[in-house]
Amino acid sequence: MIFLTRRAVFSASHFYWNEAWPAEKNEQVFGRCANRNGHGHNYTLEVTVAGEPDPVTGFVVDLKWLKEVMEREVLAAYDHRHLNLETLEFAAGKLIPTTENIAISAWNRLQPAVQAAGGAQLTRVRVYETPEVFAEYRGGQ
Amino acid sequence: MIFLTRRAVFSASHFYWNEAWPAEKNEQVFGRCANRNGHGHNYTLEVTVAGEPDPVTGFVVDLKWLKEVMEREVLAAYDHRHLNLETLEFAAGKLIPTTENIAISAWNRLQPAVQAAGGAQLTRVRVYETPEVFAEYRGGQ
Amino acid sequence: MIFLTRRAVFSASHFYWNEAWPAEKNEQVFGRCANRNGHGHNYTLEVTVAGEPDPVTGFVVDLKWLKEVMEREVLAAYDHRHLNLETLEFAAGKLIPTTENIAISAWNRLQPAVQAAGGAQLTRVRVYETPEVFAEYRGGQ
Amino acid sequence: MIFLTRRAVFSASHFYWNEAWPAEKNEQVFGRCANRNGHGHNYTLEVTVAGEPDPVTGFVVDLKWLKEVMEREVLAAYDHRHLNLETLEFAAGKLIPTTENIAISAWNRLQPAVQAAGGAQLTRVRVYETPEVFAEYRGGQ
Amino acid sequence: MIFLTRRAVFSASHFYWNEAWPAEKNEQVFGRCANRNGHGHNYTLEVTVAGEPDPVTGFVVDLKWLKEVMEREVLAAYDHRHLNLETLEFAAGKLIPTTENIAISAWNRLQPAVQAAGGAQLTRVRVYETPEVFAEYRGGQ
Amino acid sequence: MIFLTRRAVFSASHFYWNEAWPAEKNEQVFGRCANRNGHGHNYTLEVTVAGEPDPVTGFVVDLKWLKEVMEREVLAAYDHRHLNLETLEFAAGKLIPTTENIAISAWNRLQPAVQAAGGAQLTRVRVYETPEVFAEYRGGQ
C-alpha cells in the first residue's frame, strides 16, 4: 500500500457567522472572523489516495488525473470565490466555513470521483488555512 | 549600513474592478479577480529599514518597536478586512488593490512613523500575495 | 472525526549531558551537542486535537483557545529559556532535552488542559528541532 | 513510543517508459515524463523510525547514525544519478522510477540496516518529488 | 517605480563537462556533477520587472501575461528537458549549464519579449538550483 | 555580472546584555532576550559573491569552495556555540550578538578569504534569526 499525495492552492474569502445568534454573540465568539465583509486566505488542499502501484505504469493513480479531479471538484467551486456567498455547502449560513468544515466538504466533493475511478481509495484530505493551522479529515474513520 | 527586515502576515479580501468600465471589460481584463464578492489571500508584508547599529544596544531599530509599527500602521487596517470595502486607500473604487498598490500604500502608511522615530530609514516594502507573486516598493527611488 | 493542528515557534537553548558519565564519554556520544555552554534552535511545536466540529460554531476547538493553551502550558516555560537550566523536566540533569523528550514533555504539559476542557482529545504532538529533524508523540499509543 | 523523523535531499534524473509499449503509447500515458533524455528533481527523502527513547541518552536512535544510514543506503545510490540508467532497481526498465516506486525502493534499502541495529523500527518512508507531490510507504502495512 | 516578481518551477537534467578537457580533469573539477548520464533539479525561476502601476488597472504588467511569457520563452524550452542535450544554449557543449549560465540564458530569452511589450523593464532574473543555491542576473548592470 | 548565493544553517545560543547597564535597564530594553542563561536559534547564513562566470567552468566561484569557506570562517566558530561565551567578537560583552552584529561579523570573517581568492567579490551577507527577521550587510556600501 502506497499513500500518494498531491497539493493545490486556492484563494477564497470567508467569514464566520451563526444566523441563530445576535450580532454581539457572533462578535464575541468569532472575533475578527465575524466581519461580514469577509477576509481571505491562500488555502492549501492536500489530497491523499492509497493503493498498490500499477505494475505497468508504476502509478497508484495518474497524478495528472488527480490534479484534474482536484481542480474540477474543489478548485472550480472554491478558488477566487467567497465561500459564504457562492458555494453550495456554505451559502445562506447552512454551514460555517471553518477549516474543519472545508476539509469535510472537500472530502465529500472528491470521494465520489475517486471511488468512481476504481482502484485507489481516498484516505485523507488536509486543508491549510495558513502554514500555522490545518484540519485533516479521513472520512468516517 | 545594515538593512534590517521583519515580516508579518495579514489575511484580507479583495477584487479588481475599474468603475469607469462596463462589467464585460472588467471581466475580460481582470478575469476571476473581477468577482465582486471578493476572494482572499494570506499576504506577507516584509519591511526593511536601514541604519547603523546603535553601539549601546546593537540594534538598527528595536524589533519590538518595528513589530508594533507594522501592526498599528498596516495590520490594524488590512488584517481580516475586505480591502475594497474597508480601507481608506481602496474604498469606493479609488484605487485597485493590486499587490503593486498594496505595497505602495503600506509604504505610505509606514513611512511617517519610521521617519518620526529618527535614525533608521525605511528603504523597502515588499508584499507577497502568494509565495509565487510579490511587489516591492522603495519609495521614490 | 477531524484532526485540527496548530503550530507555534519557540527559541530555546539546550545541551546533551549524562551526569553519570565522564566528560569523555559525553563528548564521544553527544559530539558538539555536549558543549555545556549550550546552543539553540527555533523549535516548531505542532499540536493536534481530534473531535467532531461543533454544529453551532464549526469548531473542533476554538483556535484562539488552543493558542492560549500552547502559550501558557509550553511556550511560557520553554520560549527564550535554557532548557537544561530553567525547566522542571530537564533541570539538574533529570532528563536530557532531546527532541524526543521535548515532544513527550510538551504532551504531558498540554494533556491535562485539553482533557479538562472536555470534548476534543489531544492526539499528536510534533516538535521540529530544525526543518530536517522532528519527533512525534501520540500519548500511550 | 516516539516517532523520530529525519530528512535528506538528493538530486536525480529519471524518465517514465514501459519497454513493452510502443513509443506512441508511452508518450500518451506518460506525457512529458516519457522524454528519454531524462529530466530531474530535488527529491526529499523523509525517514521515520519508532521506539522508546533510551533513558541513558534520550535518543530513539542516534540521529548521526540515521543520517549515515540514509546516506550509505539511499543517497550513495541515488544522489547525482540517473535512476533509469544507474540503479539496481530501475535499470534496464525493470521498474519505472515513479515517486511511488522510489519510496518502496528506499524502504527496501533502509529496512535491513535499521532492523540489524535492533531497537527502533522503520515505520515510514516518504519521498517528495516536488513540494506538491509525495509518496509514502509504511512497509507491509 | 514598483518591482513586480513572479516565480515558476521547472524540472530539468544537466551535467557539467568541458569538452576541451580529459575525463580526469572534468571529474576533478566538477565532481559528481560530471556524471554524463545527468542528474536533475526542481529549478525555481524568479523574474522581476519594474515600472509604474498603470492607473487604469493598477498593474505594472498583467501577471497572466508574465506567466505566459515565462512559460513560452523559458519553461517550454527547459521544463522536463535535459539541458545539455535539448537546448539551444547548452547543447553540444557550447555552454556549461551552471546555475549562473542558466540565469543569463533565461534573461536572454525573456528580455526581447518584455522589451517588445513596452512599458515595464526586465530588471532581475534569479534561478534557484535548490533552496540553498541561487544565481541572479540583472542584465548588463 | 552574476550574483551567486549560497545558504548554510548554524545553531547557536545568545543573549543581549550591556555590561554598562544595571540589570533592570537590561531587562527593560532587551526583555526576554536579557535572560543570561541564553536562548537559541537556527540561524540561516546567506552569502552572495559577484563576478563573471569563468568561460571554462561556467562558475563565478566553485560552490564547493564557497561552502568550505563558509564552514571554516563562520560555522566552525558559531555553530553549536554560545555566541556570548565562545566567540572572539561577542565574548566578554565586547559586542552584543544581535542579528545586525552577527551579519557584520560574518562579513568580516568571510571578506579576507573571498578577497584572497581573487576574482569574485563578496557583495552581501544576510543572516536570518528566524524566517521572520533578517539583517543584511553589504560591506561599506
Whether residues D136 and A5 touch (CB distance < 8 A) is answered with: yes
What stretches in chain F show pLDDT beneath 50? none
* Residues of A with Cβ-Cβ distance to C5 under 8 angstroms: 133-136
F111: burial class by Cβ within 10 Å (0-12, 13-18, 19+)?
A: middle
Q: What is the pLDDT of residues E4-57, one digit of tens each?
A: 999 999 999 999 999 999 999 999 999 999 999 999 999 999 999 999 999 999
End-to-end CA distance of chain A: 18
Say which of D52, D73, D80, D100 is annotated catalytic: D80
For residue E34, the one-letter residue type is A
Contact status, residue E74 vs residue E46, Cβ threshold 8 Å: no
Instruction: Flag whether pLDDT at E141 surpasses 70.
Output: no
Say which of C27, C33, C89, C100 is annotated catalytic: C33
Whether residues C13 and F39 touch (CB distance < 8 A) is answered with: yes
Whether residues B98 and E59 touch (CB distance < 8 A) is answered with: yes
Q: What is the pLDDT of residues E91-112, one digit of tens each?
A: 988 899 999 999 999 999 999 9
For A126-141, what is the mean pLDDT? 95
How far does CA D112 lie from the centroid of its chain?
14
Whether residues B53 and F131 touch (CB distance < 8 A) is answered with: no
Percent of chain A with pLDDT over 90: 95
Indicate if the alpha-carbon torsion angle B110, B116, B117, B120 is positive or negative. positive
The secondary element (H helix, E strand) that includes residue E102 is helix E99-117
Q: What is the pLDDT of residues A38-70, one digit of tens each?
A: 999 999 999 999 999 999 999 999 999 999 999
pLDDT for res F140? 79
Neighbouring CB atoms inside 10 A of B92's CB total 9
Question: Taking the CA of residue E77 as centre, how many other CA atoms within 13 Å lie in the half-sphere pointing to its CB?
Answer: 18
Q: Which of F2, F6, F64 lies nearest to residue E100, judging by beta carbons?
A: F2
> Closest chain D residue to A46 measured between Cα atoms?
D132
pLDDT for res F141? 67
Sequence-ordered strand ranges (E) for chain F: 2-14, 39-51, 81-82, 121-130, 133-137
Kindly report the average pLDDT of chain E as a whole number: 97
Q: For residues E27 and B65, what is the distance between their CA atoms, to the nearest angstrom?
A: 53
Q: For residues F126 and B3, what is the distance between their CA atoms, to the nearest angstrom?
A: 9
Q: What is the pLDDT of residues D80-107, one digit of tens each?
A: 999 999 999 999 888 999 999 999 999 9
Contact status, residue C60 vs residue C2, Cβ threshold 8 Å: yes
D4 phi/psi in degrees, rounded to 5: -110, 130
Chain A residues interacting with chain B (CB cutoff of 8 angstroms):
9, 11-14, 32-33, 35, 37-42, 79-82, 85-86, 130
Strand partners, E138: E140
Neighbouring CB atoms inside 10 A of D55's CB total 10
F23: distance to nearest CA of chain B, Å?
14
Task: Please state the domain count of chain D.
Answer: 1
C130: distance to nearest CA of chain F, Å?
7
DSSP class of C138: B
The cell 534590517 sits on which residue? B4
Q: What is the pLDDT of residues C1-42, one digit of tens each?
A: 999 999 999 999 999 999 999 999 999 999 999 999 999 999
For C115-139, what is the mean pLDDT? 97
- Taking alpha carbons only, the member of B123, B122, B107, B97 closest to residue B41 is B97
Q: What is the pLDDT of residues A93-117, one digit of tens each?
A: 889 999 999 999 999 999 999 999 9
Q: What is the pLDDT of residues E112-140, one digit of tens each?
A: 999 999 999 999 999 999 999 999 999 97
Percent of chain D with pLDDT over 90: 95
DSSP class of F32: G
Alpha-carbon separation of residue B115 from B60, B121, F76 (angstroms) = 14, 7, 40
Kindly report the average pLDDT of chain D as a whole number: 97
What stretches in chain B show pLDDT beneath 50? none
Q: For residues E62 and B29, what is the distance between their CA atoms, to the nearest angstrom?
A: 9
D64: distance to nearest CA of chain E, Å?
21
F130 phi/psi in degrees, rounded to 5: -140, 175
User: Domain of E20?
Assistant: 2-137
For C119-138, what is the mean pLDDT? 97
Instruction: Flag whether pLDDT at C96 surpasses 90.
Output: yes
Q: Indicate which CATH number applies to the domain containing A126.
A: 3.30.479.10
pLDDT for res D92? 85
Q: For residues F79 and F72, what is the distance between their CA atoms, to the nearest angstrom?
A: 11
Q: For residues F46 and F6, what is the distance between their CA atoms, to the nearest angstrom?
A: 6
The C-alpha cell that represents E131 in the structure block: 533552496
Task: Work out the angle at residue D32's Cα, subtended by the Cα atoms of residues D28 and D34, and round it to the nearest 5 degrees.
Answer: 70
Whether residues E4 and B137 touch (CB distance < 8 A) is answered with: no
pLDDT for res A64? 98
For C46-67, what is the mean pLDDT? 98
Q: For residues C52 and C83, what is the distance between their CA atoms, to the nearest angstrom?
A: 36
Active site residue B41: no
Instruction: Flag whether pLDDT at A2 surpasses 90.
Output: yes
Active site residue B14: no
Torsion (CA) D86, D89, D94, D100 in degrees, nearest 10: -110
Chain F residues interacting with chain C (CB cutoff of 8 angstroms):
9, 11-14, 32-33, 35, 37-42, 79-82, 85-86, 130
Chain E residues interacting with chain F (CB cutoff of 8 angstroms):
16, 18, 20, 29-31, 95-101, 103-104, 131-138, 141
Instruction: Flag whether pLDDT at C141 surpasses 70.
Output: no
Instruction: Determine F/D contact with 3+ CB pairs under 8 A as the test.
Output: no
Instruction: Give ipTM to 2 decimals.
Output: 0.96
pLDDT for res C140? 79
The secondary element (H helix, E strand) that includes residue A49 is strand A39-51
pLDDT for res A92? 85
For C86-93, what is the mean pLDDT? 94
The cell 479531479 sits on which residue? A69
Alpha-carbon separation of residue D109 from A17, C63, C103, D89 (angstroms) = 53, 42, 29, 10
DSSP secondary structure, E114-135, as one string: HHHH-SSEEEEEEEEEETTEEE
Which three-class secondary structure state does DSSP give residue D98? coil
Buried b (16+ CB within 10 A) or exposed e, F126-135: bbbbbebbbb
Q: For residues A129 and A46, what is the distance between their CA atoms, to the nearest angstrom?
A: 12
Whether residues B60 and F136 touch (CB distance < 8 A) is answered with: no
Q: For residues E17 and B127, what is the distance between their CA atoms, to the nearest angstrom?
A: 41
Query: Is residue C92 very low, low, confident or very high in pLDDT (cuts 50, 70, 90)?
Result: confident
Neighbouring CB atoms inside 10 A of C121's CB total 15
Active site residue D129: yes
Whether residues B136 and E7 touch (CB distance < 8 A) is answered with: no
Say which of E39, E86, E129, E136 is annotated catalytic: E129
pLDDT for res A54? 97
Residues 6+ apart with CB under 8 A from C19: C93
